[in-house]
Amino acid sequence: MSAPFASGRGLFITLEGGEGVGKSTQMRLLAARLEARGLEVVATREPGGSPKAEAIREAILSGRTKFLGPMAEALLFSAARIDHLDSLIRPALARGAWVICDRFSDSTTAYQGATGEPEPAVLRALERVVVGGDRPDLTLILDLPPEVGLARADVRRRQRGEVTDRFEGEAPAFHRDLRARFLAIAAAEPDRCVVIDADAPVETVGDRIWKAVDERLLSPAKDGTSASTDEDAAAESDE
């Protein structure tokens, strides 16, 4: 099958949500499904995604930059995003690849918003300057009760022998606030965002995501052809 958007700019999809909602798991599944369509897919993550941004990630998530305060940390997330956009995301989109990113600027809005600083107007200004016209074409907000996501993240950490990172250790009220903030972003921008109920087995969540991607990006193909297959229709009717 020919790629639906073989010529021109690729499309930009972001996965967002609180801790342990399943973003990286679903990014792998979505990338495989898109690649099976003959699309070039670049799967990446934030903070990080480029060598310089990964160095900033390590500094922030280890907690070593916490003493700088929330404004400086917001600027560090932004600095990492500038390099990630310039060195990976923009070139990939320009050559026609689809980019899927595990977290992006909505995480700044939600997480730094939840810490209370910097104020929302500053966060919006930062997003305008850093992201400019390269906002995602589709944002999938994976929604899950925070206690379920934190329990999943805990299992993953034990399996990998990792330590709790910067935000997982915040109080339950912080994680509830975070969930509300992601849902508020989705409500404010329904054209860009789709809320995915992530409280289900991996395959079910994957089918929900695929349905959203198909409806928003593949079926209304810009070249006038539908990219749906009988196999996809069967997967959807199983839900």
Ligand X SMILES: Nc1ncnc2c1ncn2[C@@H]1O[C@H](COP(=O)(O)OP(=O)(O)O)[C@@H](O)[C@H]1O
Site residues, ligand TYD (CB under 6 A)? 19, 23, 46-47, 61, 77, 102-103, 107-108, 111-112, 165-167
Residue 134 CA to residue 148 CA, distance in Å, equals 32
186: its two tokens: 């989705």
Q: Rounded to the nearest whole angstrom, what is the least distance from the CB of residue 83 to ligand TYD in the complex?
A: 13
Shorter beta-carbon distance to ligand X: residue 127 or 207: 207
18 has binding-site annotation: yes
Shorter beta-carbon distance to ligand X: residue 102 or 127: 102
195: its two tokens: 């809320």
DSSP SS3 for 207: helix
Residue 214 CA to residue 19 CA, distance in Å, equals 26
Q: Rounded to the nearest whole angstrom, what is the least distance from the CB of residue 149 to ligand TYD in the complex?
A: 8
Q: Could you say which DSSP state residue 85 is in?
A: I
Residue 219 CA to residue 1 CA, distance in Å, equals 14
129 has binding-site annotation: no
Residue 15 CA to residue 6 CA, distance in Å, equals 23
Q: Rounded to the nearest whole angstrom, what is the least distance from the CB of residue 38 to ligand TYD in the complex?
A: 29
What is the binding site for ligand X (CB under 6 A)? 20-25, 102, 152-153, 155-156, 201-202, 205
Beta-carbon contacts of 214 under 8 Å, excluding residues fewer than 6 positions away, are: 227, 228, 232
Q: Look at residue 25 and give the partner it binds from ligand X, ligand TYD, none, a contact being a CB closer than 5 to 8 Å depending on partner kind.
A: ligand X
Find the residue with minimal CB distance to ligand TYD. Answer: 111
Shorter beta-carbon distance to ligand TYD: residue 164 or 219: 164
DSSP SS3 for 73: helix
Q: Look at residue 165 and give the partner it binds from ligand TYD, ligand X, none, a contact being a CB closer than 5 to 8 Å depending on partner kind.
A: ligand TYD
Cβ atoms of residues 202 and 22 within 8 Å: yes
Q: Rounded to the nearest whole angstrom, what is the least distance from the CB of residue 35 to ligand TYD in the complex?
A: 22
Sequence ranges of the binding site for ATP: 17-24
